[in-house]
Structure 1
Amino acid sequence: MGRTEGSNRQRTAAATVNAARRRWTLAATGVGFAVVQLDVSVVNVAVKPIGDELGGGVAALQWIVSAYTVAFAAFILSAGALGDRLGAKRMLLAGFTLFIAASLVCALAPNLGVLIAARAVQGMGAAALVPSSLSVLSHTYPDARARAGAVGIWALAGSAALSAGPLVGGVLIQTLGWRWIFYINIPLALFGILVVLLAAAETTRSTERRLDIPGQVLGVVALGLLTAGIIEGGQFGFDEPFVVGALVLAVAAGTAFVLVERRMRQPMLPVESFRIPLFRWSIVIGLFVNVAFYGLIFVLSLFFQRAQHASALVTGFVFLPMTLAVMLTNFYAARLQARFGSRVCVMVSAAVLVVCSGALLFLDVGTPYAVIVVQLVGLGAALGVIVPIITSSALAGADVERSGVASATLNTARQTGSAVGVALYGAQLGRSIVGGFRVDLGITIVLSALILGAGSRLDDRHESQRDPAVQ
């Protein structure tokens, strides 16, 4: 009897320890995703203070944002494959370490060149953190229901960080200076490393998974040249020979990338998946949404700070209602999808984007914030509905065994959209902030109409029952 009671107590104690380790691992992976998402949005309110100290025009400031998103988009698929080969836990630790080193260099950067280069390395760290943190979480929670809840918390951490970025950046810049938006990453990432070392279990490795080196090189070249061509075209004109050359080479590299991926036995991007309509249109919508949203956030930050002369702190508070709207509609998106279907939800949200963008066309230097806030809330609410729905639709459109690749492909498309959006929208500001902003709103209306059209192609008969990883 005594032995049985002792054995039960040991099992209970072991279960308690395992539960605690799972919770700490969840906290570490959540922090990993949070720092990645924080650095996507926190920099937007810092571009003017950085420019004031380090110099540089709009084109140079665009690179502070774009260098991160280009590297993030270009390396995330390869990082996932490398994590499969080396083990997700090792990759997660490497991602945290790289992020710390790059953040320190960003904080200490003496000039824009060093800052931009360090931001690119930060993006590579982000590419390592996202797939590895999700993989570690999947190993930690083998039970499907528990895993779904853990992934939901992981996604909420990223969504909250992304939404809070402008306000956090504004507070730090106002009180401590812009360099602290990078210093803040260091203790967070150190916490992640410590917890992963102490609590996270070892993950399996797949030595059969090969790296797609030709695809990786072509992907980086294509995206880098496309972004460079758009940014520099906005500054020097799109008829300049080096701009035309960059764009032509970007198209050539992109074409070569598709051809290489179609022939690879283990491609970085499974091109055949795009033959599935639900998957294809979900990826297209994700790309267009990020082009519009992140481009608009970038130019709005410059509009508020350069045209309306708002401080970084005020700009952070200006974005708060919009980011709260994103979080709120994120929470209710699955219920709306279950009741009305993906097609209706995306099309209505796209229509809201068209209306709100059109209403902002009348924005001028003297327009009071009370007139702007309704449109900003509408834009945020629409985004908060669309993103989780297209995430679940992309997963539904892929085979179950390819859900990881489907998620990584959507992430790649969205981060590519972020990089292109900042480049494209910023390119319109070369001569006039207000005039360029109105052109950008016209681009947003066109993109929103395209999202509406693509949304009409979503097939509600194939809706997924999985919990989407919302970003």
Structure 2
Amino acid sequence: MPSERRSWVPLLAVCSGYFMVILDVTVINVAVPVIGRELSASLTGIQWITDGYTLVLAGFLLTGGALGDRLGNRRVFCAGVALFTVASAACALAPGTAFLVVARLVEGLGAALIVPGSLALLQQSYPERAARARAFGLWGAMAGIAASAGPLLGGLLVSTAGWRWVFLINLPVGAACLTLTLRHVSRSPRRADRALDVPAQIAVVAAVALLTAALNEAGRRGWSDPAVLAGLGLAVLSAAAFALRERLARTPALPLALLRSRALGGGAAIGLLFNFGFYGMVFTASLEFQHQRGYSALGTGLALFPAVAMTMFASVLSGRLSRRTGDRPLVISGMLLAALGLAGWAAAGADPAYAALVLPMMAAGFGTSFALTGSTATVMGAAPPAYAGAASALFNTTRQIGSATGVALGGSLLASAATYGSGIRTSMLIGAAAYLAAALLARWCVPARAERSTPA
């Protein structure tokens, strides 16, 4: 029994780091109005406090994955945790807006080093397929729990201890994560032959950052705004430059042959689609509860709790079932259930009672988390060990893009719809369509149980 308990310590270490990263995406939304008042921040400053972290996180994920593969994933993961924790302390002590914005950017850089290494370290720590499936399931649950619990925790901290505790809470978590990782997670191999292709990294950072920034602005300005269109166009050009560089590079950061893999490329696309559906739902639901129903930030967090509560249960269950069924049935059924949930919200009417929305939210939360384990295993199983960090980075980058797109489209639909209720219903129907597309894609790219093989 003691050895069995020790075997789960790496999971605790890795998931605590990942939890911090995702929590800081949403917990700031409740605190930023108070921060703006106390620091006399402009609207632009408030936007950078909120979005700067996400931009750097999304933009540098592939760089973090490449560094992990070259220098060792444990080394880069620990460096990311240390940087994230120090930056969180700086955020908490910020005397003004400019200082806080810079600290948030550094925090995002630390997060970009943490996320790719988290999956690579789980794959390294749990080579046996059943244990790895459970670990991936709990890792995925952290995202849903942290993202949805952010408003609730933020509301509690801001209303009791003050906004600086939104960042100070990361200090003990970061210290515990670093200690557990150094003591209980094995060193990762270093691959000095994997050169860091700087031009390719610059191109991908530009592509993802420009795309994320354009999507964030689309929700505020509209899709036809010149700045949004310019950002999208430059993002496409940067992506084309990355693809060209990878084709010509002697040691590419992410070989194009891997991207052409049905399992890896398709699994990453599924991640984009279900993040689009889930985070679009969370965003539009938050606006519905606060702006239309008059809920407080804390009340909104409690209203979203049914979706959060399902994530942990679904991840644990899918991790256990995957040993018997394989990943494909779980991913397909999870996506279909989530699609049914969002379609049920859309069918509930223009101004449904909250009780009518509980089951749709539970279905979306359960289905997304139920499918995440299998899609994660599909992506990581398709990559050779030498590219575990890069595969993890690709998967999480596409998920970040899906989240940003879902939020941006949801904001645009609410702003342009004739009524708030019609905008919500349209957003939910589009989210349901994304889930259905993910289910169809899973039928094609997620291996059946008989086709699965454990990576060396």
Query: Is TM more than 0.5 here?
Result: yes
Q: What's the counterpart of residue 354 of structure 2?
A: 369
Query: SS of the residue aligned with 1:459?
Result: helix
Query: SS of the residue aligned with 2:283?
Result: helix
Q: Structure 1 residue 325 and structure 2 residue 307: aligned?
A: no
List aligned pairs for 1:60-71, cutoff 5 A.
Answer: 63-71=48-56
Instruction: Report the Cα distance in structure 1 between the residues aligned to 2:17 and 2:67, rounded to whole angstroms.
Output: 18
1:355 corresponds, among 321, 324, 343, to: 343
Query: SS of the residue aligned with 1:325?
Result: helix
2:439 corresponds, among 444, 449, 455, to: 455
Alpha-carbon distance change, 314 to 361 in structure 1, aligned in 2, over 3 angstroms: same
Q: Structure 1 residue 173 and structure 2 residue 164: aligned?
A: no
Q: What's the counterpart of residue 244 of structure 1?
A: 229
Query: SS of the residue aligned with 1:341?
Result: helix
Structure 1: gaps (5+ residues): 1-15
Letter paired with 2:333: C
List aligned pairs for 1:222-233, cutoff 5 A.
Answer: 222-233=207-218
Query: SS of the residue aligned with 2:340?
Result: helix
Q: What's the counterpart of residue 7 of structure 1?
A: none
Q: What's the counterpart of residue 325 of structure 2?
A: 338
Aligned residues: 449
Segment of structure 1 superposing worse, 423-432 or 345-354: 423-432
> For the Cα contact (< 8 Å) 1:66–1:419, is it kept in 2?
no
> For the Cα contact (< 8 Å) 1:215–1:268, is it kept in 2?
yes
Alpha-carbon distance change, 301 to 64 in structure 1, aligned in 2, over 3 angstroms: farther
Deviations 1:275-313 (A, max 9, x none): 333433322221122123223323433332344332222
Deviations 1:29-56 (A, max 9, x none): 3321221232234334445555565677
Instruction: Report the Cα distance in structure 2 between the residues aligned to 1:338 and 1:132, rounded to whole angstroms.
Output: 28
Instruction: Report the Cα distance in structure 2 between the residues aligned to 1:119 and 1:170, rounded to whole angstroms.
Output: 20
Segment of structure 1 superposing worse, 172-181 or 229-238: 229-238
Alpha-carbon distance change, 444 to 407 in structure 1, aligned in 2, over 3 angstroms: farther
Q: What's the counterpart of residue 245 of structure 2?
A: 260
Instruction: Report the Cα distance in structure 1 between the residues aligned to 2:185 and 2:446, rounded to whole angstroms.
Output: 39
> For the Cα contact (< 8 Å) 1:69–1:416, is it kept in 2?
no
Instruction: Report the Cα distance in structure 2 between the residues aligned to 1:84 and 1:426, rounded to whole angstroms.
Output: 37
Q: What's the counterpart of residue 430 of structure 2?
A: 446
Cα RMSD (Å): 3.8
Q: What's the counterpart of residue 211 of structure 1?
A: 196
Instruction: Report the Cα distance in structure 1 between the residues aligned to 2:40 and 2:423, rounded to whole angstroms.
Output: 25
Instruction: Report the Cα distance in structure 1 between the residues aligned to 2:353 and 2:325, rounded to whole angstroms.
Output: 38
Instruction: Report the Cα distance in structure 2 between the residues aligned to 1:101 and 1:76, rounded to whole angstroms.
Output: 19
Alpha-carbon distance change, 45 to 285 in structure 1, aligned in 2, over 3 angstroms: farther
> For the Cα contact (< 8 Å) 2:220–2:411, is it kept in 1?
no
Alpha-carbon distance change, 102 to 294 in structure 1, aligned in 2, over 3 angstroms: farther
Per-residue deviation at 1:374?
2.7
Instruction: Report the Cα distance in structure 1 between the residues aligned to 2:135 and 2:396, rounded to whole angstroms.
Output: 19
Deviations 1:23-78 (A, max 9, x none): 65554333212212322343344455555656779987665454333322222222
Per-residue deviation at 1:444?
4.1
Letter paired with 1:333: S
Instruction: Report the Cα distance in structure 1 between the residues aligned to 2:21 and 2:191, rounded to whole angstroms.
Output: 26
Per-residue deviation at 1:184?
0.4
Per-residue deviation at 1:435?
4.3
Per-residue deviation at 1:222?
1.9
Deviations 1:213-268 (A, max 9, x none): 22221222222222333333444455544443323222222222222223323333
* TM-score normalised by structure 1 residue count: 0.80
Q: What's the counterpart of residue 270 of structure 1?
A: 255
Alpha-carbon distance change, 92 to 310 in structure 1, aligned in 2, over 3 angstroms: same
Which of these two proteins has the greater Rg computed from alpha carbons?
A: 1
Letter paired with 2:325: A
Letter paired with 2:344: C
* TM-score normalised by structure 2 residue count: 0.82
Percent identity between the aligned chains? 37
Q: What's the counterpart of residue 271 of structure 2?
A: 286
List aligned pairs for 1:180-219, cutoff 5 A.
Answer: 180-198=165-183, 200-219=185-204
Q: What's the counterpart of residue 297 of structure 2?
A: 312
Q: What's the counterpart of residue 122 of structure 1?
A: 107
List aligned pairs for 1:60-209, cutoff 5 A.
Answer: 63-109=48-94, 114-136=99-121, 160-198=145-183, 200-209=185-194
Letter paired with 1:446: I
Instruction: Report the Cα distance in structure 2 between the residues aligned to 1:463 and 1:60, rounded to whole angstroms.
Output: 49
